[in-house]
């Protein structure tokens, strides 16, 4: 099991981030939100990773950069420890943006639990789409 968050897994492409917000879908589990986009993630040579992940904490809720940076570190850590839930169940590359959207200051344990629930909710929602899409393909043949 690889519990790392390497540089090539970080979401940095402005084009991909733009696609996330224009064409992406989202799933929420209070106070977290996961915006995702499935498709081509950059050039074929560089898209060896299944996931590109970025994190964000709103200045609206946390005025001090110290507080925003703390919650970004917590989000990255919970992603790093639970990304195997996503990687083991994805069949195509995805770009994700992970948001903390509340002024409530949850503990690390609560955020970790919510992250696991959010990833499971995403996988359940994603598997339903693939199952319904596969059924229609079988009917057409």
> Could you tell me the residue ranges of all domains in the chain?
7-134
Share of residues in the chain with pLDDT > 90 (%) = 71
Cβ neighbours around 105 below 10 Å, total: 13
> Averaged over 42-61, what is the pLDDT?
77
What's the CA gap between 24 and 110, in Å, rounded?
A: 26
Q: Would you tell me the crossing angle of helices 65-87 and 108-140 to the nearest 10 degrees? A: 40
Closest CA to 34 of 128, 129, 122: 122
Per CATH, domain 7-134 is 3.20.20.140: no
On the question of pLDDT at 21 being above 80, the answer is: yes
pLDDT: is 130 or 59 the higher one?
A: 59
What's the CA gap between 45 and 60, in Å, rounded?
A: 38
What tokens does 32 get?
């977290």
On the question of pLDDT at 12 being above 60, the answer is: yes
């Amino acid at each position: 099991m690889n519990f790392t968050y390497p540089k090539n897994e970080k979401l940095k492409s402005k084009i991909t981030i733009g696609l996330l917000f224009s064409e992406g879908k989202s799933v929420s589990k209070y106070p977290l939100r996961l915006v995702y986009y499935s498709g081509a993630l950059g050039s074929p040579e560089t898209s060896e990773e299944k996931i590109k992940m970025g994190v964000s904490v709103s200045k609206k809720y946390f005025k001090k950069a110290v507080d925003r940076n703390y919650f970004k570190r917590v989000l990255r850590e919970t992603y790093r420890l639970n990304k195997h839930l996503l990687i083991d169940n994805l069949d195509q590359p995805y770009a994700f943006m992970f948001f903390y959207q509340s002024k409530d200051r949850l503990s690390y344990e609560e955020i970790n639990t919510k992250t696991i629930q959010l990833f499971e909710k995403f996988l359940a929602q994603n598997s339903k789409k693939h199952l319904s899409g596969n059924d229609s393909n079988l009917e057409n043949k």
